[in-house]
Amino acid sequence: MTVQDAPARKGPSDPAASALDPLRRRAIEAMAASVAERGYARTTVADVLRLAGMSRRTFYRIYQNREECFLDTYAVVSDEALAHITRSSGPGSGECEGIEEPLRAVLEYLASRPAHAHVLVTEPVSAGGQSVERHAATLGAFRDRLQPVLVAGGGSDRMASTAAVGAVYHVIQRHLWDGEASDLPALAPDLARLVGRLAA
Amino acid sequence: MSTSPRQRTAQQLPSGRHGLPRSYIIHNQRERILHAVVIVAARQGYGAMTIEEVVAVAGVSRRTYYDHFSNKEEGFLAAYDLVVEQVAEVVTAAFTSGATWPERIRRGVGAFLEHLAAEPDLAHLCVVEILAAGPRALERRTSAMRRFHSFFLPDEEHASEAGPDAPLAAEAAIGGLYEIVYGRVLTHQTEELPELLPALIRSLLLPFVGRPVADAEYRAAAHHVELRRQRRETSPAA
pLDDT of residue B16: 55
Q: Indicate the number of domains in chain B.
A: 2
| Cβ distance of B168 and A128 shorter than 8 Å | no
Look at residues B39, B69, B99 and tell me which one is the last residue of a structural domain: B69
Round to the nearest angstrom and report the end-to-end CA distance of chain B: 33
Assign residue B213 the CATH number of its domain.
1.10.357
CA-closest candidate to residue B153, choices B171, B135, B136: B171
Look at residues B69, B95, B128 and tell me which one is the last residue of a structural domain: B69
Query: What value does the mean pLDDT of chain A take?
Result: 79
Q: Does B165 touch chain A (CB under 8 A)?
A: yes
Q: Which residues are within 8 A (CB) of A186 and not within 5 positions of it... i.e. 6 or more apart?
A: none
Q: Are residues B65 and B145 in the same domain?
A: no
| Cβ distance of B200 and A39 shorter than 8 Å | no
| A108-122, A143-157, A177-191, B3-17: segment of lowest average pLDDT | B3-17
CA-closest candidate to residue A138, choices A164, A112, A165, A159: A165
* Best residue in B179, B182, B197, B208 for a mutation probing chain A (most A CBs within 10 Å): B179
Q: Are residues B95 and B142 in the same domain?
A: yes
Q: How many CA atoms lie within 13 A of B66 on its CB side?
A: 4
Question: Which residue among A170, A190, A199 sits closest to B175, beta carbon to beta carbon?
Answer: A170
Question: Which residue among A128, A177, A194 sits closest to B172, beta carbon to beta carbon?
Answer: A194
pLDDT of residue B100: 94
- Per the CB < 8 A criterion, the answer to whether B6 and B25 are in contact is no
Question: Which residue among B45, B131, B203 sits closest to A198, beta carbon to beta carbon?
Answer: B203
Identify the segments of chain B with pLDDT beneath 50. Answer: 1-8, 10, 238
Structure confidence at residue A17 as a pLDDT band (50, 70, 90): very low
Look at residue B7 and tell me if it is in a domain. Answer: no
Query: What phi and psi, each to the nearest 5 degrees, are found at residue B187?
Result: -100, 20
Integer CA distances (angstroms), A16 to A85, A89, A117, A199, in order: 16, 21, 19, 32
Q: Are residues B159 and B226 in the same domain?
A: yes
Structure confidence at residue A95 as a pLDDT band (50, 70, 90): very low
Q: Are residues B99 and B185 in the same domain?
A: yes
Look at residue B6 and tell me if it is in a domain. Answer: no
Q: Are residues B136 and B226 in the same domain?
A: yes
Q: What is the ipTM of this complex?
A: 0.77
Percent of chain A with pLDDT over 70: 75
Assign residue B35 the CATH number of its domain.
1.10.10.60
- Per the CB < 8 A criterion, the answer to whether B125 and B83 are in contact is yes
Q: Are residues B94 and B190 in the same domain?
A: yes
Q: Are residues B60 and B109 in the same domain?
A: no
Segment A50-80, tens digit of pLDDT: 999 999 999 999 999 999 999 999 999 988 8
Chain A residues with beta carbon closer than 8 angstroms to that of B199: 157, 159-160
pLDDT of residue B1: 41
Look at residue B155 and tell me if it is in a domain. Answer: yes
Q: Are residues B201 and B106 in the same domain?
A: yes
* Best residue in A159, A177, A184 for a mutation probing chain B (most B CBs within 10 Å): A159
Look at residues B69, B98, B130 and tell me which one is the last residue of a structural domain: B69
Q: Does A87 touch chain B (CB under 8 A)?
A: no
Indicate the SS3 state at residue A156: coil
Dump the DSSP string for B95-148. Answer: HHT-SSHHHHHHHHHHHHHHHHHH-HHHHHHHHTGGGGS-HHHHHHHHHHHHHH
Look at residue B5 and tell me if it is in a domain. Answer: no
| Cβ distance of A194 and B45 shorter than 8 Å | no
d(CA A142, CA A92): 18
Dump the DSSP string for A15-33. Answer: ---TT--HHHHHHHHHHHH
Q: Are residues B52 and B84 in the same domain?
A: no
Q: Are residues B104 and B132 in the same domain?
A: yes
Look at residue B40 and tell me if it is in a domain. Answer: yes
Look at residue B1 and tell me if it is in a domain. Answer: no
Structure confidence at residue A153 as a pLDDT band (50, 70, 90): low
Look at residue B3 and tell me if it is in a domain. Answer: no
- Per the CB < 8 A criterion, the answer to whether B105 and B201 are in contact is yes
* Structural domain boundaries enclosing B34: 22-69
d(CA A183, CA B147): 23
d(CA B40, CA B34): 10
Q: Are residues B140 and B196 in the same domain?
A: yes
Q: Does B177 touch chain A (CB under 8 A)?
A: yes
Question: Which residue among A39, A163, A193 sits closest to B180, beta carbon to beta carbon?
Answer: A163
| Cβ distance of A197 and B206 shorter than 8 Å | yes
Look at residue B184 and tell me if it is in a domain. Answer: yes
Q: Are residues B140 and B65 in the same domain?
A: no
